[in-house]
Structure 1
Amino acid sequence: MSVFLFDEIVFGPVNSRRLGVSLGMNLMPVNRKICSFDCIYCECGLNGQLGDKNGQIPERQVVKEALGKKLTSMLNNNLKPDVITFAGNGEPTLHPDFKGVIDDTIELRNKYCPEARIAVLSNASRLHKPEVVEALLKVDDNIQKLDSGLKDTILKLDQPNYPFDLDTTIEQLCRFNGQVIIQTMFVEGETNNETIDNTTEADIAAWLKALDKIKPEKVMIYTIERDTPYNSLKKVPIDKLKQIAQRAEEQGHKVSVSG
C-alpha cells in the first residue's frame, strides 16, 4: 500500500481518532524515517523504505521556532489545538534533546494555548534514559506502546531493532506509577508467509496480565486506519475490539476504542 513521510516539523492540525484536534510534532527528519521499531503497520513505511538516508534531525531551536510560528498562525485564524502531539517520522524520544524540546513546548503551550494538552506517542524503547522519563512525566498524555503481552508477537509485529526484553519494558512502564497511557494496535493478517494476529487468547491474556502490573491511567486500543507497508494486513473488527476492551474494563482499566 501507499505509505508516506511527514514533510514538516509541525504538521496539521488533523482530527485524531483518539486525541481530538491534534497539532503534530515531528522530531525526526522531514525526509527520512528514524525509529527504534520497524512496525509492520507503520504509515511511514519500513525503516529505509522511503526518503533520504542523509536527512537530519532538526535542532531544538529550529523545532521551537517552527512551533511558535505555527501557533501564532493558528491563533491569527482563530484556531486552537486540543493537543500538541509528538509523533511523526519515527520515535520522538530518539531526539538528542528531547527533554529540552518538551520544556520549550510547555513554554509555548502556556503562552499561546494554555488549555491544550501535550501528548507523546512513544514505543517505550527509551525508558532506560532518565532524562526521557523526566520529560515524559511533564506532559499531559504520556502514551506508550504495548502491542502484546508476548515477546514473540512483539518481535513479529513491532520488529524492535535493539535487544528487546519485554519484562524490562513492563518493569520500566511500572515505574511511571500509573502516570502513563498504554496504546495497543490490534492487527490481523500475514507477512512473509507468517501469520500476524495479536488478538489470540494467549496474547490477550498476557496483555491483560501486563496491564494489571503497569496500572495505567488509561488504555487506548485501536486498529489500522491508514495504509501500511503490507497489503496483507487487516483491520480488526470493531466488535472484536470492544470485546477485548470489555475484558480490560472488567479488570478495572479505563479503556477507549477506536475502530
Structure 2
Amino acid sequence: MSTVIYPSPIFGPIHSRRLGVSLGINLMPADGKICTFDCIYCECGLNAQRRPALPRPTREEVAGALEAKLKQMAAEGLLPDVLTFAGNGEPTLHPDFAAIVGDTICLRDRYAPKARISVLSNSTAAHRPDVRNALMRVDNNILKLDTVDPGYINLVNRPACRFNVDDVVSTLKSYEGHLIIQTMFMKGSTGGVSVDNTGEEYVGPWLDKVVEIAPREVMIYTIDRETPDHGLKKATRDELDAIRDRVIAAGIPCTASY
C-alpha cells in the first residue's frame, strides 16, 4: 500500500485538478488519519492502517502556520488561488473547526484577498449547527455525495458513524444552493464485488437527488492516485463526460476531472 499522509497543519501549495493552486489546511494529525468514512479509494489509506499518535493541531497552531506561509508566499509573489481544508481525514471533526474557519477568513482577507476558501467534506457533520454556520461562510463548500444507494455507500464509503443517506440529502437541501456536490465515479471491484457506479442504476437516482438538492455546481471526478484497494479502476473520460452532460442538461453547472 502506497498512500499519502499530509503534513499538518499546512501543506503545499499543490495543483488541484478542480481548484487551481491550492494551499492545504490539514486539521488532522501529521502522522495519521481521523475520518468518519473509511473509503476504499482514499488516498490517505484505510483508517485502521493510519491510526495517529499525535494530536490534532490547535487553533493557534493552525493560524500561526497559515499566517507564516501566506507571508512567505506573498514575499515570493506567488499567492494561492484557494485555501483548502483537506488532508488526513474529515476537517469538520476538529473541535474548533468553526473558529478556525473564522481565523482563516481574516488571514485570507489580510494577505491573499483574491484567494477563495474551500472545504472538502464528506457531509457527515454538515447537519451540525456550528459546522453549517462555518460552511456557509466559505466560498466553496464542497460536500461529498458519491451515490444515494445505501448498499454502495456501505461497500465503498464504509461510514464509521451513523449515516442515513436520506438525512444527508435533506441536510444538503438545507444549504439552499450554497454548496458544491463532489462525486467520485469509478470502476473495478472490491472483494469480488463490482464498484462500478457509472451506469444508470446509480447515475439516474443520484442525478434525481442532485436536482432536488439544487447545488451551485457539481464536480465529478475519478481515481487519480494510488488507492488502498488495488482492485479499483478509473472511470473513462467518455463515461465522465456523459454524466457531466446529463447534469448540465438538468440545469446545473458541472465539471469533470479525469
Q: Which residue of structure 2 lines up, in the alignment, with residue 180 of structure 1?
A: 179
Give the superposed CA RMSD: 0.9
TM-score normalised by L of structure 1? 0.98
Q: Is the contact made by 1:29 and 1:57 (CA closer than 8 Å) also made in structure 2? A: yes
CA distance in 1: counterparts of 2:212 and 2:12, whole angstroms: 36
Q: Is the contact made by 2:29 and 2:52 (CA closer than 8 Å) also made in structure 1? A: no
CA distance in 1: counterparts of 2:132 and 2:14, whole angstroms: 27
Worse overlay, 146-155 or 35-44: 146-155
Q: Which residue of structure 2 lines up, in the alignment, with residue 244 of structure 1?
A: 243
1:227 and 2:194 correspond: no
Q: Is the contact made by 1:149 and 1:205 (CA closer than 8 Å) also made in structure 2? A: no
Q: Which residue identity lines up with residue 63 of structure 1 in the other structure? A: V
Q: Which residue of structure 2 lines up, in the alignment, with residue 202 of structure 1?
A: 201
CA distance in 1: counterparts of 2:140 and 2:40, whole angstroms: 25
Q: Which residue identity lines up with residue 104 of structure 1 in the other structure? A: D
Q: CA deviation at 1:249?
A: 1.2
Q: Which residue of structure 1 lines up, in the alignment, with residue 33 of structure 2?
A: 33
Q: Which residue identity lines up with residue 168 of structure 1 in the other structure? A: D
Worse overlay, 52-61 or 176-185: 52-61
Q: Which residue of structure 2 lines up, in the alignment, with residue 16 of structure 1?
A: 16
CA distance in 2: counterparts of 1:54 and 1:218, whole angstroms: 37
Q: Is the contact made by 2:8 and 2:57 (CA closer than 8 Å) also made in structure 1? A: no
User: Per the alignment, in what secondary structure is the counterpart of residue 48 of structure 1?
Assistant: helix
Q: Is the contact made by 2:240 and 2:256 (CA closer than 8 Å) also made in structure 1? A: yes
Q: Deviations over 1:170-204 (max 9, x none)?
A: 00000000010000011111112221111121110
CA distance in 1: counterparts of 2:6 and 2:20, whole angstroms: 19
Q: CA deviation at 1:54?
A: 2.1
User: Per the alignment, in what secondary structure is the counterpart of residue 170 of structure 1?
Assistant: helix
Q: Is the contact made by 2:8 and 2:27 (CA closer than 8 Å) also made in structure 1? A: no
1:170 and 2:185 correspond: no
Q: Which residue of structure 1 lines up, in the alignment, with residue 83 of structure 2?
A: 84
Q: Is the contact made by 1:149 and 1:209 (CA closer than 8 Å) also made in structure 2? A: no
Give me the identity figure in percent.
48
CA distance in 2: counterparts of 1:128 and 1:81, whole angstroms: 30
CA distance in 1: counterparts of 2:106 and 2:85, whole angstroms: 15
Q: Is the contact made by 1:190 and 1:232 (CA closer than 8 Å) also made in structure 2? A: yes
Q: Is the contact made by 1:190 and 1:196 (CA closer than 8 Å) also made in structure 2? A: yes
User: Per the alignment, in what secondary structure is the counterpart of residue 95 of structure 2?
Assistant: coil
Worse overlay, 191-200 or 55-64: 191-200
Structure 2's unaligned 5+ residue stretches are none
Q: CA deviation at 1:127?
A: 1.7
Q: Is the contact made by 1:187 and 1:198 (CA closer than 8 Å) also made in structure 2? A: yes
1:147 and 2:159 correspond: no
Q: How does 1:116-135 map to 2 (within 5 A)?
A: 116-135=115-134
Q: CA deviation at 1:225?
A: 0.4
Q: Deviations over 1:60-107 (max 9, x none)?
A: 011000100110111111110000000000000000010000000000
1:70 and 2:72 correspond: no
Q: Report the number of matched residues.
A: 258
Q: CA deviation at 1:48?
A: 2.4
Q: Which residue identity lines up with residue 189 of structure 1 in the other structure? A: G
Q: Which residue identity lines up with residue 151 of structure 1 in the other structure? A: P
Q: Which residue of structure 1 lines up, in the alignment, with residue 43 of structure 2?
A: 43
Q: Is the contact made by 1:147 and 1:184 (CA closer than 8 Å) also made in structure 2? A: yes
1:111 and 2:134 correspond: no
